[in-house]
Amino acid sequence: MSNESRKAVTRADVAKLAGVSVAVVSYTLNGGPQPVAPATADRVRDAVQKLGYRPNAAARALSLGSSEVLGLVIHDIGNPFYARLARAVEIEAERLGSRVIIGSTLGDPAKTIDHLRELDARQVSGIILVSPLDDDNARKIDRLSSPLVQLDADAPLASRAILRPDLRAGTLMALEHLFDLGHDSVAFLGSPPGADERHAAWSDAHRLSGRTPGPAAAISYTREGGYDGMRTILEEQTPSAVFASSDMIAVGALRALREVGLQVPSEVSVVSFDDSPEAPFAAPPLTTVHQPVEEMAADAVAALLAPESGVHGRRTYDVRLVIRDSTGPRHQPSRVEARLTVGPHTCEEPTAPAAV
């Protein structure tokens, strides 16, 4: 193959084949700012197709002041909840004629900062941040030139909109469900105190109802975190019910419970948060708090690409409890079971009647 055949096609090549100026090619491909006669525009598009010309996105962004691309920075692409959210953002962005660049931070604040800076340097049309960022790390970011929307996040950054599910209401809903089933003390798997609304709501639900909270384990929002946290709690006691702050955590907790021979929900009930695609396929299917992911994603995209939609400022979304098979009434030991568990390592067997 000759060097000439490998040479990238330019707008000048398109202009030459179409018999127009380079400016007319730009007007046609960019939709302005000057009008182009339909017949002329058809010749330009025919030339583009014949030559296989592909516009340079970076150059286009510089000429227009922005690109027809959105940036999406998410916590963990391997988490089914975030994968579902990313898909919803892509679908809505494509519907509005835009594409999405996705960056996964894996919970690393340094990666979050790097992704935000890189997307801003690309002059994307806007950035959707779906990854936590504390105050100290947020201060390391200079003011972004690209508009920002935070989705399920609340970093101290100038934002066009901050869109969040009602984490507190969802947690209280889940705890009320367990209380109604007779579970007076519920264990907690999730963030440490002060780091998340779910922990505070779990604590408040017990306090306001005159109940004593069960044990809590501060863990990562992963299957491994749920597994390790559940094992830690089981070393202390066996709770009758567990609240897991995410479906991923719950899946790990279910495995830990299976390994020690505890049945869900007959011996331990588990309720979680998110209603991710994994929830109905867990064993057993998870009772969980549903987040309106598609609605929040659509609003996040609209805030950036369709300002006339009116999506701006803070907005909190209603959640709902989806009851499946991982929760049930509190297990009440029978009289026989009570006799068989007199001490931690003893077993009182029924005695045979005396011979006569």
> Where are the alpha helices (H) located in the chain, listed in sequence order?
3-6, 11-18, 22-30, 38-51, 57-64, 80-95, 109-121, 135-138, 167-180, 197-208, 223-236, 247-259, 293-305, 335-340
Whether 194 and 244 share a structural domain:
yes
The amino acid sitting at 292 is P
Question: Distances from the Cα of 343 to the Cαs of 69, 77, 285, in angstroms?
Answer: 66, 48, 34
DSSP 134: -
Residue 274 lies in a domain: yes
Mean pLDDT for 88-106 is 93
Question: Is the model's pLDDT at 100 over the cut of 50?
Answer: yes
Question: Could you tell me if 290 and 296 are in contact, meaning their C-beta atoms sit under 8 angstroms apart?
Answer: no
Mean pLDDT for 290-305 is 96
Provide the pLDDT for residue 56. Answer: 56
Mean pLDDT for 178-189 is 98
Per the structure, the complete domain to which residue 185 belongs is given by 167-291+318-322
- CA atoms of 241 and 231, how far apart (whole Å): 14
DSSP 355: P
Phi, psi of 289, rounded to the nearest 5 degrees? -90, 125
- Digit-coded pLDDT (tens) for 224-270: 999 999 999 999 999 999 999 999 999 999 999 999 999 999 999 99
Residue 235 lies in a domain: yes
Q: Which of 159, 184, 203 is the last residue of a domain?
A: 159
Whether 128 and 171 share a structural domain:
no
Residue 353 lies in a domain: no
Residue 285 lies in a domain: yes
Provide the pLDDT for residue 109. Answer: 81
- Digit-coded pLDDT (tens) for 273-285: 999 999 999 999 9
Taking only Cα atoms into account, the Rg of the chain, rounded to an integer number of angstroms, comes to 28
Mean pLDDT for 212-218 is 97
The amino acid sitting at 143 is R
Whether 242 and 260 share a structural domain:
yes
Residue 179 lies in a domain: yes
Quick one: tokens of 201?
Answer: 């709501």
Whether 73 and 152 share a structural domain:
yes
Residue 347 lies in a domain: no
Whether 178 and 254 share a structural domain:
yes
Residues 6+ apart with CB under 8 A from 195: 218
Mean pLDDT for 96-115 is 89
Residue 265 lies in a domain: yes
Of residues 149 and 352, more confidence is placed in 149
DSSP 21: -
Quick one: tokens of 93?
Answer: 């962005």
Provide the pLDDT for residue 62. Answer: 47
- CA atoms of 233 and 332, how far apart (whole Å): 21
Question: Could you tell me if 105 and 116 are in contact, meaning their C-beta atoms sit under 8 angstroms apart?
Answer: no
Counting residues of the chain whose pLDDT is more than 70, the rounded percentage is 86
Whether 178 and 286 share a structural domain:
yes
Mean pLDDT of all residues belonging to the chain: 86
Question: Residue 235 belongs to a domain with what CATH number?
Answer: 3.40.50.2300
Of residues 141 and 205, more confidence is placed in 205
Whether 133 and 209 share a structural domain:
no
- CA atoms of 337 and 203, how far apart (whole Å): 32
Of residues 212 and 111, more confidence is placed in 212
- Digit-coded pLDDT (tens) for 5-44: 446 788 888 999 999 998 888 788 766 667 888 899 889 8
Sheet of strand 320-322, all strands in order from the earlier edge strand to the far edge: 216-218, 186-190, 241-244, 269-274, 287-290, 320-322
Provide the pLDDT for residue 350. Answer: 41
Whether 184 and 271 share a structural domain:
yes
The amino acid sitting at 14 is V
Q: Which of 159, 192, 208 is the last residue of a domain?
A: 159
- Digit-coded pLDDT (tens) for 300-317: 999 999 888 889 999 999
Q: Which of 135, 159, 183 is the last residue of a domain?
A: 159
Count of domains observed in the chain: 3
Whether 223 and 279 share a structural domain:
yes
Whether 173 and 254 share a structural domain:
yes
Whether 229 and 198 share a structural domain:
yes
Whether 50 and 78 share a structural domain:
no
48 confidence band (pLDDT: 50, 70, 90)? confident
Question: Residue 39 belongs to a domain with what CATH number?
Answer: 1.10.260.40
- CA atoms of 41 and 31, how far apart (whole Å): 10
The amino acid sitting at 157 is L
Of residues 290 and 48, more confidence is placed in 290
Residue 349 lies in a domain: no
Question: Is the model's pLDDT at 142 over the cut of 50?
Answer: yes
